[in-house]
Copies of this chain bind each other. A is one copy, B any other.
Amino acid sequence: MDRPASRAGVDAAAFRSAMRQLAGGISAITVGQDDDRTGLTVTSVSSLSADPPSLVFCINRSSSSWPVLVRRRTFAVNVLSPAQIGVAERFSGRGGAKGAARYEGVRWSRLVTGTPVLRDALAVLDCEVEELVERFGSAVVIGRVVAAEVRVEAAEPEALAYWRGTYGILRL
């Protein structure tokens, strides 16, 4: 069962196949405001520290959201429920929607930074960029959380997740 690869590294296909086995909760990252807004879908949001409240996510620096994030230095995490697969799809770029068009069809509000947050998300976290750790073609974004709200917890007994390249429903 053990087939050691070269110490120099593993090939990208084997890496991707292994990573597909790891499930991830889905968040839409919103960036910018008004006409200068866009965003992306990620499974990489994680808590970094509760003191100060901070989180991380990973972004490919070829993403259309990257230059807006660098310029605005604020973003929000919108934790999605199964009812919001459409938001996940639009923010992942499927269907071709770009920029502000990704925001159509659902309701948004604001907390502190002014970045749009999804009204009916499971939870939203409004963040300022603490640091952009640029490595390889990607970046680890470290965000300082300036506001956070749980939204539709009682009404929603399921979470939206991504696993083996497709959406799944998580129940407790």
- On A, residues with C-beta under 8 Å from B are 1-12, 14-25, 27, 43-58, 60, 77, 79, 109-112, 119, 122-125, 130-131, 133, 135-138, 140, 142, 144-151, 153, 159-161, 163-164, 166-172
Contact = CB atoms under 8 A, between A and B. Distances in A.
Q: State the oligomeric state as a number of copies.
A: 2
Chain A's interface: helix, strand, loop or mixed, by majority? Answer: strand
B58 A48 contact: yes
A9 B145 CA distance: 6
B164 A168 contact: no
A54 B112 contact: no
Given A136-B49, A150-B17, A163-B25, A109 B170 contact: no
Contact of A148 (B17, B54, B163): B17
A112 B4 contact: yes
